């Protein structure tokens, strides 16, 4: 079947195609099926091969599609960064294939801050396991590989993510942390762009704040009309509260910009 295992019936509409890395290059679809089937019936396995070789050789990774979404997520939870296969030096890497990623992930993805740095992905998954199945858990790490004390966790539904926020945000202060646990929706790309704009505006406002009148501000002509409109609006008395908020934002370090 041209490098795949298929059956006549089709997987569930919400099934997930998973990418799997760190598998032995000598493995065939048969060994892979034996690895995956304990988690649920397998619809299809495609090994990625180097076509420049004759015969084509495995690249040590594959795509697998289970018949159910539940089976795929259970396999990911059991294998990803946990199980190291025979002859391999690193654990299995298993995540939704790029073709499965949609903007809807933003509705289910959480940023977790103020985590004890000794915690790994498994411990964080356990922390949030009572709220539902997690599709992904990724700790942010520095160049030395050490945890930066924050992570991203993606649930299968928005309701699960909301319940996690409601229950876990500021619920405890973890070992080695100066503030309570932070649990919130991860910033979208639009959020990040707005945050950068706010930081730029704060710098401009600080310059304007020391000027007596708009007409005496040196270099004002270099600002775009859009900036001028925002700056004027931000510094009017009715918007002083927003201006103060922007000043505070400008002084904060936001880990979720990473």
Question: 0.85 cut: is pTM over it?
Answer: no
In whole angstroms, give the CA distance from residue 68 to residue 11: 6
Angle among Cα 146, 117, 108 to the nearest 5 degrees reads 95
Looking at domain 17-97, which CATH architecture does it have?
A: 2-Layer Sandwich (3.30)
In whole angstroms, give the CA distance from residue 26 to residue 21: 13
Looking at domain 103-185, which CATH architecture does it have?
A: 2-Layer Sandwich (3.30)
| DSSP letter assigned to residue 177 | -
Residues 6 or more apart in contact with residue 20 via CB below 8 angstroms: 32, 61, 62, 63, 64, 79, 92, 93, 94
> Domain locations in the chain?
17-97, 103-185
Per-residue pLDDT for the chain (258 aa), expressed as one digit of tens each? 444 444 447 888 888 899 999 999 999 999 999 999 999 999 999 999 998 888 899 999 999 999 999 999 999 999 999 999 999 999 999 988 865 555 467 788 999 999 999 999 999 999 999 998 888 899 999 999 999 999 999 988 888 999 999 999 999 999 999 999 999 999 877 777 777 888 888 877 777 766 544 555 555 555 556 555 655 555 555 555 544 544 444 443 444 444
CA 21 to chain CA centroid, Å, is: 19
């Amino acid at each position: 079947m041209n490098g795949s295992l298929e059956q006549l019936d089709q997987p569930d509409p919400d099934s997930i195609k998973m990418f799997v890395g760190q598998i032995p290059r000598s493995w065939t679809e048969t060994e892979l099926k034996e690895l995956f089937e304990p988690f649920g019936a397998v619809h299809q396995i495609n090994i990625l091969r180097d076509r420049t070789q004759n015969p084509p050789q495995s690249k040590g990774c594959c795509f697998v599609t289970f018949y159910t979404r539940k089976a795929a997520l259970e396999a990911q939870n059991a294998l990803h960064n946990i199980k190291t296969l025979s002859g391999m030096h690193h654990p299995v890497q298993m995540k939704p294939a790029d073709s499965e990623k949609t903007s809807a992930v933003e509705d289910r993805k959480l940023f977790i801050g103020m985590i004890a740095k000794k915690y790994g992905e498994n411990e964080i998954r356990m922390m949030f396991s009572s709220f539902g199945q997690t599709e992904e858990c990724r700790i942010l790490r520095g160049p030395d590989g050490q945890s930066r004390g924050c992570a991203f966790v993606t649930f299968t539904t928005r309701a699960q993510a909301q319940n996690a926020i409601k229950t876990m945000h500021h619920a405890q202060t973890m070992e080695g942390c100066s503030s309570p646990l932070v649990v919130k929706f991860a910033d979208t790309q639009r959020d990040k762009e707005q945050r950068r704009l706010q930081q730029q505006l704060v710098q401009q406002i600080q310059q304007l704040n020391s000027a007596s009148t708009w007409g005496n501000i040196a270099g004002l002509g270099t600002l775009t009309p859009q900036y001028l409109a925002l700056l004027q609006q931000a510094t009017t008395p009715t918007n002083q509260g927003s201006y103060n908020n922007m000043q505070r934002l400008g002084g904060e370090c936001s880990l979720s910009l990473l």
